[in-house]
Structure 1
Amino acid sequence: MNKHKQLRSSLLLLITAFIWGFAFVAQRQGMEHIGPYTFNAVRFALGALSLVPLMLFLNRKSGQTPKSTDKKLSYGTAARSGLITGMVLFCGATLQQIGLIYTTAGKAAFVTGLYIVIVPFLGLFLKQRLNMNSGIGALLALIGLYLLCMTNDLSLSKGDIYELVGAFFWSAHILLIDHFSSKTDVIKLSFFQVVTCSVLSFIVAFARETITLDGLSQALIPILFGGIVSVGIAYTLQVVGQKNAQPTQAAIIMSMETVFAVIGGYLILDELLGMRGIIGCVLMLTGMIIPQLPQFNLFRSDRRLTPSEPSTDSR
Structure 2
Amino acid sequence: MPGGGNKSLQLKADLALLGVTFIWGITFVVVQNALDSIGPYYFLGVRFLLAFLFLGAIYYRQLLKLDRTTLQAGLIIGMFLFGGYAFQTVGLQYTTAANAGFITGLSVVLVPVFSTFFTRQLPGVFAAGGVILSTTGLAFLSLGQGLRINRGDLLVFFCAICFALHIIMVGRYARHLNPPLLATIQIGAVSLAAFAMGLSMETWPGQFTRPVWIALLLTAIPATSLAFLIQNSVQRFTSATHTAIIFTMEPVFAALGAYLLAGEILTARQLTGCLLILGGMLLAELKGEPAQTEIQRTRRAEAGGH
Counterpart of 2:281? 288
> Paired residue for 1:30?
34
Structure 1 vs Structure 2 CA RMSD = 2.2
Deviation at 1:224, TM superposition (A): 1.4
Residue 23 of structure 1 deviates from its aligned partner by: 1.2
Alpha-carbon distance between aligned partners in 2 of 1:221 and 1:255, rounded to the nearest angstrom:
25
- The structure-2 alpha-carbon separation of the partners of 1:150 and 1:304, relative to structure 1 and needing over 3 Å to count, comes to closer
**Unpaired stretches in structure 1, ≥5 consecutive residues:** 68-73, 298-302
1:184 is displaced (CA, Å) by: 0.8
Q: CA deviation at 1:305?
A: 4.8
Residue among 74, 82, 99 paired with 1:90: 82
2:224 is equivalent to residue 211 of structure 1: no
TM-fit CA distance, 1:229: 1.6
Matches of 1:6 and 1:292, distance apart in 2? 19
Q: Which residue of 63, 71, 76 maps to 1:79?
A: 71
One-letter identity of the residue aligned with 2:32: R
Whether 1:4 and 2:4 are equivalent positions in the alignment is no
For residues 54 and 267 of structure 2, the distance between their equivalents in structure 1, rounded to whole angstroms, comes to 38
Question: Which residues of 2 match residues 228-307 of structure 1 at below 5 A?
Answer: 228-294=221-287, 305-307=293-295
* Partner Cα distance (1:88, 1:199) in 2: 13
- The CA distance in 2 between the partners of 1:217 and 1:245, in whole Å, is 37
Matched, 1:16 2:4: no
The partner residue of 1:107 within 99, 102, 107 is: 99
Alpha-carbon distance change, 305 to 218 in structure 1, aligned in 2, over 3 angstroms: closer
1:154 aligns with 2:137: no
How far 1:231 moved relative to its partner?
0.6
Whether the 8 Å contact between 2:167 and 2:294 is mirrored in structure 1 is no
Distance in 1 separating the partners of 2:211 and 2:142: 31
Q: 1:124 matched to which residue of 2?
A: 116
Paired residues of 1:23 and 1:226 also in contact (CA < 8 A): yes
Q: How many Å apart are 1:259 and its aligned residue?
A: 0.4
SS in 1 for 2:297: coil
2:52 aligned to 48, 57, 81, which one? 48
* Number of residues of Structure 1 aligned to a counterpart in Structure 2: 298
1:78 maps to a residue whose letter is T
1:214 aligned counterpart, secondary structure: coil
Aligned CA distance change for structure 1 residues 275 and 259 (closer, same or farther; 3 Å): same
Partner of 2:162: 169
Tell me how far 1:152 sits from its aligned partner. 2.4
For 1:51 and 1:65, how far apart are their aligned partners in 2? 10
Residues 65/104 of structure 1: CA separation in 2 closer, same or farther (3 Å cut): closer
The DSSP-based 3-state class of the residue aligned with 1:307 is helix
The offset of 1:66, in angstroms, is 4.2
Matches of 2:236 and 2:26, distance apart in 1: 24
> Deviation string for 1:39-60 (max 9, x for gaps)?
100011111122235435xx7x
Q: What TM-score, normalized to structure 1?
A: 0.88
Q: What is the match of residue 137 of structure 1?
A: 130
Displacement after TM superposition at 1:251 (Å): 2.0
CA contact 2:284–2:292 (8 Å) conserved in 1: no
> Residues 45 and 193 of structure 2 are in contact (CA less than 8 Å); yes or no, is this contact kept in structure 1?
yes
Judged with a 3 Å threshold, the aligned counterparts in structure 2 of structure 1 residues 306 and 199 are, in CA distance, closer, same or farther, namely closer
Inter-partner Cα distance in structure 1 for 2:120 and 2:246:
25
C-alpha contact (below 8 Å) 1:248/1:308 kept by paired residues: no
Give the structure 2 partner of residue 309 of structure 1: 297
Q: Give structure 2 stretches of 5+ with no counterpart.
A: none
**Secondary structure of 2:154 counterpart:** helix
Q: Partners of 1:160 and 1:147 in 2: how far apart?
A: 12
- Give distance in 2, aligned partners of 1:127 and 1:304: 15
Q: Is the 8 A contact 1:50 1:231 kept in 2?
A: no
Q: Deviations over 1:222-270 (max 9, x none)?
A: 1111111211122222222312122232122111110000000111111
- Distance in 2, matches of 1:284 and 1:306, equals 19
Partners of 2:80 and 2:63 in 1: how far apart? Answer: 29
